[in-house]
Amino acid sequence: MAAAIPDRSVVSPPDSAFLDAMAALAGGVCVITALTREGSPVGFTSTAVMSVSRQPQLLAIGVGTGVRSLPALLDGRRFALNILHSGGEHVSRRFADRTVDRFAGLEWSAEEGSGLPMLLAHSSYTVLCSVVRDLRAGDHHLLVAAVDDVVTGTVVTGTGGPTALVHHDRRYHALGAA
């Protein structure tokens, strides 16, 4: 039996201290994409991604209850995890901006079987996933997903291998670039 998340609102540290601590935790930058019931592509930027299990292959993403793409993730139960390479900062910023059409003029492709939007030109890898568990945790959903397929994206020219875009201390940093 799982323990309930305690209500620690009375003894919690200041919100700014928590945000500062989490900013000190470097995270790989990803764009999560999905399809609405009507078949329209949606997506958002996230660093709240983790590997959960090798056998079976599972990963988890944290999604805020206010994220506009959340209904598509919960309805369709499928998403693409686009792991941005070091040249993907502009894509990350676009998918973090609520005021723009995130897919307009952006190079992307639909996965052959599911139609999931893949950002292969901007990602080292795209991981296609099916949600197997939705856990409500405070103001977020923790979605545990089975890995259906891994598609190799673009290796940034001249680096000799995949590069990574990470977010640390409220700034973007490129790793693995020559």
pLDDT per position as a tens digit, 35-46: 999 999 999 999
* 95, containing H or E segment: helix 89-96
* CATH value of 21-175 in 3.40.50.180, 3.30.910.20, 2.30.110.10, 3.90.1170.50: 2.30.110.10
Q: What is the mean pLDDT of residues 117-128?
A: 96
pLDDT at 14: 78
What would the mean pLDDT of 5-13 be, rounded to a whole number?
63
Rounded to whole angstroms, the Cα distance separating 44 from 63 reads 9
Predicted pLDDT of residue 108: 96
Q: Chain-wide mean pLDDT for the chain? A: 90
Mean pLDDT in residue range 157-165: 70
Alpha-carbon dihedral sign for residues 63, 168, 164, 50: negative
Could you tell me the residue ranges of all domains in the chain? 21-175
Q: What is the pTM of this model?
A: 0.88
* pLDDT above 90 (res 145): yes
Residue 87 has pLDDT above 80, yes or no: yes
What is the torsional sign of CA 138, 34, 102, 126? positive
pLDDT > 90? residue 62: yes
Q: Percentage of residues in the chain with pLDDT exceeding 70?
A: 88
pLDDT bracket for residue 178 (50, 70, 90): low
Residue with tokens 């891994």: 150
